[in-house]
């Protein structure tokens, strides 16, 4: 085979077809932008909720440690949850 083999001729793109393709592409882009902003907003709200849960857990942990007669399992669970939330909060901030 030679390098001068015939290439199929490219047909010029119809203007209407081109506009339709660009409109579809713009719709997809706009939809992706909308979804991205929605996900970012949800992500921010979840971060706020986690930070709030961490604050509540710190208060609860403090109350548990200043109380007498609290079961050791509850103390351990409280410390474990506080530690886990603390690590997570450190990662998102």
Per DSSP, the residues of 5-17 read PPPPPPPPPPHHH
- pLDDT grade for 91, boundaries at 50, 70 and 90: confident
**14-56 pLDDT per residue, tens:** 888 889 999 999 999 999 999 999 999 999 999 999 999 999 9
Closest residue by Cα to residue 78 from 89, 66, 90: 66
Q: Is the pLDDT of residue 3 over 60?
A: no
pTM of this structure: 0.65
What is the token pair recorded at 69? 């007669």
Strand residue runs (E) in the chain: none
Kindly state the average pLDDT of the residues 55-79: 88
């Amino acid at each position: 085979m030679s390098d001068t083999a015939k290439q199929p001729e490219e047909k010029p793109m119809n203007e209407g077809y081109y506009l339709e393709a660009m409109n579809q592409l713009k719709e997809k882009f706009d939809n992706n932008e909308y979804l991205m902003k929605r996900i970012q907003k949800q992500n921010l709200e979840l971060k706020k909720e986690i930070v709030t849960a961490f604050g509540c857990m710190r208060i609860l942990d403090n109350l548990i440690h200043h109380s007498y007669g609290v079961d050791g399992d509850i103390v351990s669970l409280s410390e474990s949850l506080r530690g886990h939330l603390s690590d997570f909060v450190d990662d998102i901030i």
